[in-house]
Amino acid sequence: MGDPKARGAPSRRFPGAPQSVAEARCFVRSALGGVAPDVVDTARLLVSELVTNVVLHARTEVEVSARAEEDAVHVRVGDRRPDRGLVPQGASPYAGTGRGLALVGQLSSRHGVTVEEAGKTVWFELRPGTAPRRQNGWETTAPPPASDGTTVTLVDVPVALYRASQQQRHALLREVALAVADGHDLGVPAEDLVVAQDTSNVLTACVTAALRQWSAEVVTGSLSLSVPPDAGPRLRDLRDVLDLVEEAARGERLLTLPFLPRHRAFHRWLLDQIVGQLAGAAPTAWTVMPREPGTGPSALVPWDAGQVRASRVPTLAADERNRIIAANGPAADMLGWQEEDLVGQPLTALVPEHLRKRHLVGFFSLLLSGESRILDRSVPLPALHRDGRLIPVRLFIQTQEATDGRTVFVAQLAPRAAAPGPSARPPGRVRPAALQEPVRPPPSAAPRAAGEEAGRSRADTSALERLALLADAGTALGNAPTLDEGLQRVGELLTRRLADWCAVDLVTEGSSVERVCIVHRSPHGPWPEEYGGPLPPVSDTARGPLARALRGAGPLLLDGPPSPDQVTSPLDAHYVGLFRVMGANSAVVVPLRARREVIGVLTVARGGRGRPFTEEDLPLIDDLVRNIALGVDNARLHQQTHNIAERLQRSLLPVLPEVEHLELAARYAASSTTAQVGGDWYDSFVVPSGDTALVIGDVTGHNLDAAIAMSQLRSMLRGIAVDRQEPPETVLRRLDLANHSLHREVTATCLYGLVKGPADGPWELVHSSAGHLPPLLVGADGRTRYLEDGAGLLLGVDPDTPRPHARDALPAHSTVLLYTDGLVERRDEHLDRALDRLRRHAAALAREPLDVFCDELLIGLGADSDDDIAVLAARPAPPVRPGPRRGGVGLRETDASTGSS
């Protein structure tokens, strides 16, 4: 079954140049005259791929022969490089290169390669009317590792990221090679490009050979490569050429997009590691390398649509075409869609109209330049509800690598007062504990068998180790940003030191039960997503171990899975199903109790041939459960307090008045790091005299007390201002006096101003400041200045101190911006520098609509802010009056006004 020599078959030789690809296609069409068109098209496609490979990789003369017999078409493509072995790559539908050999394997009836002294020949057969035979005939052709090579160890290599980066490298080098061969000058010397291509091929062959040692389930691991000892200089040349090629891609001189930030960082690490180790340096793991936002290890979780669907955080995922490819129920509910209707929509369907242009510019700028302002950052902005409403959210976007080479953008959305963290994981999802720690090069000793560590008896566990486990569990739960994350970390800890798998079920506010995490010791599963999330109800007929523990029984020691005779309800059946999937030779089921109530259940289990749980293990597990229950209860109490404050804060956000000659817009965003409510507030209302009041303030603190004090000050100020209609400085003095009468006197900054003037102008701002940052006036022409007059002491210091005021003209179409310090202040940065940054951003937005002006300021300056942000903007403009109508009655009215009728 070797290479059919195709005696007498028409053949033709072509130079190793790009134009030979098209000429070879024409030759095949001519040589196969009379053959069915679909067979000819397939032959031309495969020849095109193979000749391209010769042009790019062998760079020699190419010989093509084709002949048709009664039952088959035989085609041969040969080059003059027998030493250049084939390196088959995966045929991902999203791959830009590397699909030629895979296509031959998938579409041909038979295929193979013949290597002779003068060259090598790839051949294939097509048999009309028969389905292609899926062969694996290329595996033996990849060059084996060099016997005299130097071993290089790459530590913590994420497989999906490597494959995506390799595809991008090949795509960039391929396009540049074809363009340079066709006479285009892209700033890459032809001789350097040849070296880079050859080196890239060698690198791919080395890594491909190493990856064959891994199972398909491996996500991250260490690779041992056999690299030619003299490869260092050539790898440096490859790195330099890639820099030039990427520069051309960023300059839009290529069709191929440049590397995304993480791909670029990974490639530099990959090449630097090999070069460094060839020179004698020690390996450095990818997971410990310092990187810019958007390139860190936290973003390297392989893409899995199940993560989106299982998450309780509103989550969406989009691809490089700007299309939504996955969405979960919470996101669909928040945005007014059905999950299935969201999938396939362009992302712009969720972007307010005034921000769509910015979104598209930013998205394609990311693809072209690899730079983004919002990746891996918590950004406050509005989302568009399906009914047209705007929903204030915080957006957190990470990029993840799909195993097929795509880059997926995963976005978490949270109501403006709650920020998702970069480490948030979906509940109900099995998360292998082994993936949470860097994978190190395997030691010389044999690895410990699964369950061996958990199989130690309690007598073998010292008191110090038990105390350390209790302390580490408390720390893991207490230091996590969310309760789900904390329980996940505790589960990972227990599966490393005590059990093979564990599960945590919690009672929700509605008395239902939800499985918030399942953790398994093994990095390869099982992954029973169907057993996470909401559980069947605890009915009166439920008699299984979980139902008993939820009623307060336990700890329950099981010598195996629950027996089938205990299955008397859907909850029991669900629990038995979990044991069937996960496996167990013993388990302990313990209720979590807090304040005399059962708030959940912990299940820890051991499987395999390890020592089962015994009565001796129960005291340690009981201590663990008390710690976990206390942590869960504290986290819930904290969340309840936070929810009350959040609802209070939202209820206090005012509705801006409608003023004929004044545009108004406001935004509020809680801190992205603490997600706490605070004392920032804004207000605007029309006083009886017809002037429009503008108010901005900030009460010291970031807790419920600050929110309550803010509400008191805001209400008192509005009452004083409306009742007395006095100048701003007098209103602030009276507010300060009232503040001193409160049970809990607070300190706060506040700026109160009145926009005065008739509808047609001119207008002025009369204002007084109690220790607040100065308003920024932005002219329609982009010129800016801070209104620094009228500044006085903050509230709560000395109510008898006279307060100044200031008057400033407001030109038509100018914007006056009031803001709190969260928009500008940053740690270890001088305030002058922060205010200058605000001035530059505002000047660039001077001509934008007021909603765009405010949203862009929050996106540009409010991401990752450590403090709350309140923004209030006002823009005076003469009212638009209807002009004269043309024709008919309008013409006669115009004539009458001039006396000509």
The pLDDT value given to residue 791: 92
pTM of the model: 0.59
Alpha-carbon separation of residue 414 from 297, 396, 510, 798, 864 (angstroms) = 23, 9, 22, 41, 14
Contacts of 99 (CB under 8 A, 6+ apart): 49, 89, 91, 92
Alpha-carbon separation of residue 313 from 213, 343, 375, 507 (angstroms) = 37, 17, 18, 18
The pLDDT value given to residue 330: 86
Q: Which amino acid is at 319?
A: D
Structure-token match 């060059």, residue found: 143
556 near 545, Cβ under 8 Å? Answer: yes
70 near 103, Cβ under 8 Å? Answer: no
HSE toward the beta carbon, residue 482, CA cutoff 13 A: 18
Distance CA 337, CA 332 (A): 5
As a whole number, the mean pLDDT across the chain is 81
Are 11-141 and 301-415 equal in CATH topology? no
561 vs 507: which has the higher pLDDT: 507
| pLDDT above 90: residue 649 | no
Classify residue 897 as exposed, middle or buried by CB count within 10 Å of its CB (0-12, 13-18, 19+).
Answer: exposed
188 near 176, Cβ under 8 Å? Answer: yes
Q: Domain 11-141 - what CATH class?
A: alpha beta
The pLDDT value given to residue 790: 92
Torsion over CA of 330, 334, 340 and 341, rounded to 10 degrees?
-170
% of residues, the chain, pLDDT over 90: 29
815 near 778, Cβ under 8 Å? Answer: yes
Mean pLDDT, residues 221-241 taken together: 89
180 near 190, Cβ under 8 Å? Answer: yes
> What order of strands is seen across the sheet that includes strand 869-876?
662-669, 869-876, 815-819, 776-778, 784-786
Quick one: tokens of 449? 């068998």
The pLDDT value given to residue 757: 92
- The full set of domain ranges for the chain reads 11-141, 150-297, 301-415, 452-641, 653-876
Quick one: tokens of 254? 């290529």
Distance CA 110, CA 337 (A): 49
Neighbours of 725 (CB within 10 A): 14
Alpha-carbon separation of residue 333 from 315, 341, 413 (angstroms) = 11, 12, 12
| Nearest Cα to Cα of residue 520 among 606, 397, 431 | 431
Structure-token match 């013949």, residue found: 114
Fold (topology level) of 301-415: Beta-Lactamase (3.30.450)
For 22, phi and psi rounded to 5 degrees?
Answer: -65, -40
- What does the angle CA 663 – CA 666 – CA 670 come to, to the nearest 5 degrees? 175
For 61, phi and psi rounded to 5 degrees?
Answer: -60, 145
Distance CA 392, CA 829 (A): 28
Classify residue 396 as exposed, middle or buried by CB count within 10 Å of its CB (0-12, 13-18, 19+).
Answer: buried
User: Cα 170 from chain centroid?
Assistant: 25
| Nearest Cα to Cα of residue 516 among 446, 599, 593, 598 | 599
- Per-residue model confidence as pLDDT tens digits over 779-790: 999 999 999 999
Distance CA 666, CA 818 (A): 9
For 696, phi and psi rounded to 5 degrees?
Answer: -140, 140
Residue 453 pLDDT class (50, 70, 90 cuts): very low
- Per-residue model confidence as pLDDT tens digits over 634-646: 888 877 776 676 6
| pLDDT above 50: residue 294 | no
Residue 862 pLDDT class (50, 70, 90 cuts): confident
| Nearest Cα to Cα of residue 312 among 506, 477, 473, 491 | 506
- Per-residue model confidence as pLDDT tens digits over 549-594: 998 887 899 988 887 777 889 999 999 888 888 888 899 999 999 8
Residue 297 pLDDT class (50, 70, 90 cuts): very low
- Per-residue model confidence as pLDDT tens digits over 265-286: 888 899 999 999 999 999 888 8
735 near 772, Cβ under 8 Å? Answer: no
CATH superfamily of this structure's domain 452-641: GAF domain (3.30.450.40)
Residue 843 pLDDT class (50, 70, 90 cuts): very high
| pLDDT above 80: residue 147 | no
Tell me the CATH architecture of domain 653-876.
4-Layer Sandwich (3.60)
Alpha-carbon separation of residue 172 from 243, 258, 272, 787 (angstroms) = 11, 8, 20, 52
* Rg of the chain taking only CA atoms, in angstroms: 34
Q: Which amino acid is at 754?
A: L
Ramachandran category for residue 785: left, alpha or beta (phi over 0 → left; psi -120 to 50 → alpha):
beta
| Nearest Cα to Cα of residue 512 among 544, 488, 479, 534 | 534
The continuous run of DSSP H or E covering 329 comes out as helix 329-335
| Nearest Cα to Cα of residue 76 among 131, 135, 37, 116 | 116
Distance CA 453, CA 608 (A): 12
Classify residue 306 as exposed, middle or buried by CB count within 10 Å of its CB (0-12, 13-18, 19+).
Answer: middle
Distance CA 901, CA 893 (A): 9
Quick one: tokens of 321? 């075409």
- Per-residue model confidence as pLDDT tens digits over 12-53: 999 988 889 999 999 999 999 888 899 999 999 999 999 998
- Per-residue model confidence as pLDDT tens digits over 356-415: 888 888 887 777 766 667 777 788 888 999 988 888 888 888 877 776 657 788 888 877
Quick one: tokens of 112? 């193979």
The pLDDT value given to residue 4: 53
| Nearest Cα to Cα of residue 786 among 831, 827, 829 | 831
- Per-residue model confidence as pLDDT tens digits over 593-607: 988 889 999 999 998
Residue 140 pLDDT class (50, 70, 90 cuts): very low
Alpha helices, DSSP H, located in 617-677: 618-652
